[in-house]
Amino acid sequence: MGISKTLLLGLKADDFRHPLDLQATNSLKQIPGLDIAVRSLMGNLAEQFFYLRNIASSILVSEKQLPELHKLLLEACQILDLEPPQLYVQQNPVPNAYTFAMRGKQPFIVLHTSLIELLTPQEIQAVIAHELGHLKCEHGVYLTMVNIMVLAAGLLPNWGVVIAQSLQNRMLEWLRCAELSCDRAALLATQKPEIVMSVLMKLAGGSPTLAPQLNLEAFIEQARAYEAINDSELGQMLKSAQIQQLTHPLPVLRAQEIDRWSSSQEYHHLLAQAQKGEQKGQGRWRNW
Compute the distance between CA of residue 40 and CA of residue 38 in angstroms, rounded to an integer: 6
- The backbone torsions φ and ψ at residue 244, rounded to the nearest 5 degrees and listed phi first, read -55, -40
Does residue 83 carry a catalytic annotation? Answer: no
DSSP track, the chain: -----EE-TT--GGGT--HHHHHHHHHHHTSTTHHHHHHHHHHHHHHHHHHHHHHHHSEEP-SSSSHHHHHHHHHHHHHHT----EEEEE--SS--EEEE-SSSSS-EEEEEHHHHHHS-HHHHHHHHHHHHHHHHTT-HHHHHHHHHHHHHGGGS-HHHHHHHHHHHHHHHHHHHHHHHHHHHHHHHHH--HHHHHHHHHHHHH--TTTGGG--HHHHHHHHHHHHHGGGSHHHHHHHHHHHTT-SS--HHHHHHHHHHHTTSHHHHHHHHHHHHHHHHT-SS-EE-
- The backbone torsions φ and ψ at residue 222, rounded to the nearest 5 degrees and listed phi first, read -65, -40
Among residues 47, 75, 123, 131, the one annotated as catalytic is 131
**So which residues are the catalytic ones?**
131
